[in-house]
Amino acid sequence: MTIFFYKNTLFVLGSDLNDPPRLWTLVEDLYGLILKSGGFVLNRPLAALTGLLALTTGSLCADAKGQPTNSMNMKGNDMSSSREITPSAIPSTKDHTAFYFAGDFIYWQAQEDGLEIGPSGSTSETAGVINSQGTSRFINSGYAPGFKFSMGIDFMRDGWDTVVEYTWYDNTNQTGTNHTTTTGTVVDAGFTLPSTGTGTASWSIYFNNINWELGRKFYVSKYLTLRPHVGLKGSWLHQTLTGSYSYTFAQEAGSVLGFEHSKFWGVGIRGGLNTEWFLAKGFSIYADIALAEVSGRASGRARAEVVDPVSANLSATPATLGGVIGPSSNSYIRAGLNRMRPVLELALGLRYDVGFGEDDYYRFMIQTGWEQQIWWNQNNFVTTSGTSKYGDLSFQGLDVKVGFTF
């Protein structure tokens, strides 16, 4: 509708047939308008009032159709009609609730501080002076396979999702050491061996973990998505450290057997951020970080068996383990306490994600990357003398994931 003045007269031209009929009825009843050539000619006294009515009714009509009348209203209507400031990055949630399943093959290395098993070298005595040389030996930490399994739901509620992930990992490492001596004693992993000795030590770890997450994945730019999440972490860790040492003194054989076992279970709050940096044609780089504080119960026990040759002319100190002295002895100790342990998780890798079916109803994803975890002060071993060991536990290695959403 176009309105303009000409010679003290207001013209309303090009009247739209879609305008409300009551406008015309109201104008005709009040002002006795005469329809002429597709428009109206109004005398001056009624021009201002009629123009105001026309503009007001036109504005209401536009609002009823959901069409803003100016840029200010447009911005306001956009914000009020859609509060999705950060659009969801999961398209399937717009139409239906989606389900997610995934499996991971992991090939990790486990390492723990405080697992020294003793020196490897030789000791001799010359003119009353003891000379010793060698290197300290630690548990050689190797890689071992494991797996993860996860399942989740993508809700229609603003793109929220929830995921539960289970991790299983088992690894055993073994290291040997040896020491030769001409005279005197040799301290070997807590054992005082007055002779030529060789030994092996074995460390094994059994790891179970469940993570629950509640998150939302959304776009912050055309090629970057973020997924903040919060949830819970539950973990069970079993560790075993065994040592077997044999030696000879005065042509007699002796042995020392040691066994240490620790357990930890706990539950705590966990939160983090997943990021995805899109490249091209379904490929992207993912980088994730998560922090947790796990509170639970730690326990440990240790046992030692010492068989030492004793002869009448034995002048050197017999074998000892944690203060237990031969010739033949056994020792056992147990300890437990409540502990809180922080955990850091990191992941970086390459992902391929593709949709198929009508409106990409189904999605397939495969990714490979490197993952690292550190559990602060997770060495819960105790010795037969009642002392505790200290050290951080860490995992690192390959993670290959395959996932399916429908």
Residue 208 φ/ψ, nearest 5 degrees: -125, 140
Residue 10 φ/ψ, nearest 5 degrees: -95, 125
pLDDT at position 97, please?
Answer: 85
DSSP 289: E
| Residue corresponding to tokens 């031209």 | 13
DSSP 30: H
Helix (H, G, I), strand (E, B) or coil at 113: coil
Nearest-angstrom CA–CA distance, 185 and 176: 19
Helix (H, G, I), strand (E, B) or coil at 361: coil
DSSP 139: P
pLDDT at position 66, please?
Answer: 42
pLDDT at position 309, please?
Answer: 56
Torsion-angle region of residue 14: left (phi > 0), alpha (psi -120 to 50) or beta?
A: left
Nearest-angstrom CA–CA distance, 77 and 336: 63
The H or E element spanning position 60 is helix 44-64
What residues does each domain of the chain span? 2-81, 93-405
Alpha carbon 119 to its chain's center? 38
Nearest-angstrom CA–CA distance, 218 and 86: 6
Residue closest to 59 by CA, chosen among 95, 19, 115, 11: 19
Torsion-angle region of residue 24: left (phi > 0), alpha (psi -120 to 50) or beta?
A: alpha
pLDDT at position 177, please?
Answer: 59
pLDDT at position 348, please?
Answer: 98
Residue closest to 214 by CA, chosen among 232, 196, 202: 232
Render pLDDT for 130-176 as a digit per residue (tens, 0 to 9). Answer: 666 666 667 778 899 999 999 999 987 888 999 999 999 999 876 66
- How many CB atoms neighbour CB 67 within 10 A? 11
- 81, two tokens: 């009609």
Nearest-angstrom CA–CA distance, 128 and 35: 131
Q: Do residues 182 and 196 make contact, with C-beta atoms less than 8 angstroms apart?
A: no
pLDDT at position 380, please?
Answer: 84
The H or E element spanning position 303 is strand 283-307
Nearest-angstrom CA–CA distance, 88 and 225: 9
- 125, two tokens: 């005595």
- Give every residue of the chain whose pLDDT is below 70, as ranges: 1-84, 91-95, 117-137, 174-197, 247-254, 307-332, 384-387
DSSP 140: P
Residue closest to 176 by CA, chosen among 198, 192, 146, 154: 198
Pairing of strands 320-321, 129-138: unpaired
31: Cβ–Cβ under 8 A, 6 or more apart, which residues?
Answer: 42, 46, 50
Q: Do residues 191 and 249 make contact, with C-beta atoms less than 8 angstroms apart?
A: no
CATH architecture of the region 93-405 = Beta Barrel (2.40)
Helix (H, G, I), strand (E, B) or coil at 381: coil
